Chain A
Amino acid sequence: MIKRMSLKKISICIIALFAIFLFYLFPTNEKLKVNKELNYVEDDKNLNTIFLIDSNNYLAKTSIDLDDKTIKNKAIKLLTALINDEKYADKIPNGFKSIIPNDTKILNLEYKDGVIKVDFSKELMDTNKENEEKIIEAIVYTLTSIDKVKYIIIYMEGEILTKLPQSNINLPSTLDRNFGINKEYNLTGYKNISKTTIYYVNKYNNKEYYVPVTKISNDGREKAEIIIEELGNNKTYNTNLMSYLNSNTKIVSLNEANNQLVIDFNDKIFNDKDSNTILDEVIYTISLSILDNYNVDSVIFTVNDQEIYKSK
């Protein structure tokens, strides 16, 4: 009887060991289930986005270390950096410079309910015709990078700025990212005109950064399709605007719900089919572009309906 019980125990142990062996021999496809949440702002909570001029005269997305907690104080410091980069010379990355004339003063700044109202001295427009619009773009894109800030109203010497003096460009009294940045007009006709902001990647001193370009073109397709095609083909003749997206990447489906945009891609989005990884540059260029063109708080990438990445 003891012998029978021992045999029984041994049999159970062998079966259990065999089951464990089988489990490790045939792994499940865990890799596709890994969710990576992506932070655009590095873990340092003091880093704030600022749009400065790069060496190719594009307004580029960079960051600056500021330790203010309130939206108002943060906005003032960011604008100060946009005005006079000497004051923050040690914080501004190499290769970038401010755009607003140096002797411009911030006369007043208020924040309420998502709207920043800022009054500048007249030196704001002491610049050449080509820079006027860039100044507005830098202010709008920088300040709307602050969490909760959606709209900007720019005053000059107490009056709302509604027209740029030399270029005669009209400004809506309330500005947001719909204004565009680094605008390029590629129009061959007047039908099916759309405006899409696409983020490219560039490098300075081996450090990568992102450059948004608002393209106005005759293309009536869904903006996500335009973004993927532009980044995949990288048709720009400017070699300072790069993209690493595989040109065979396609959107399988698009679903916007609950303030999120879920994009299902084909597997060409992976840079390595075996490890199912996506390059960070591909993630950032697509996500930043989507967030500027759709009214959503986050973007989710899926492949074969399995979540790969989710932006924060």
Chain B
Amino acid sequence: MNKSILTKREKQVFELLILNKTTKEIALNLNISEKTVRNHISNAMQKLGVKGRASAVVELLRLNEISL
């Protein structure tokens, strides 16, 4: 079974991020706190070895971890 780089929740956060959702909107959508959303984004950036949300999105799109 192929293991994804991101957890299911981390993926959900980024999939909403590329739909132009704000951190607040993502939190409401997933029924989690804004702090948790920011934590998921930070964790994903660390796993990908990038600085910044935009770089994380580029990497995730290249890897097809998330799609448009």
Contact = CB atoms under 8 A, between A and B. Distances in A.
B62 interface: yes
Nearest to B56: A190
A64 interface: no
Given A169-B63, A170-B65, A185-B61, A191 B20 contact: yes
Interface string A188-213: 11111111000000000000000000
A262 to B, nearest CB: 26
B58 interface: yes
A11 interface: no
Interface in A180-238: 183, 185, 187-195, 216
B32 interface: no
B57 A187 contact: yes
B2 A193 contact: no
A167 B68 CA distance: 20
Contact of B54 (A163, A183, A188): A188
A168 interface: yes
A16 B65 CA distance: 77
A190 B63 CA distance: 16
A2 to B, nearest CB: 88
**What does DSSP make chain B's interface, helix, strand, loop or mixed?**
loop
B49 to A, nearest CB: 13
B62 A163 contact: no
Interface residues of B, number: 18
A171 interface: yes
Contact of A185 (B4, B20, B58, B67): B58
A169 B54 contact: no
A169 B61 CA distance: 9
Contact of A189 (B54, B62, B64): B54
Nearest to B65: A170
A180 to B, nearest CB: 10
Contact of A171 (B61, B64, B68): B64
Q: Which of A170, A172, A189 has the most CB of B within 10 A?
A: A170
Interface of B: 2, 4-5, 17-18, 20, 53-54, 56-58, 61-65, 67-68
Interface of A: 162-163, 167-172, 183, 185, 187-195, 216
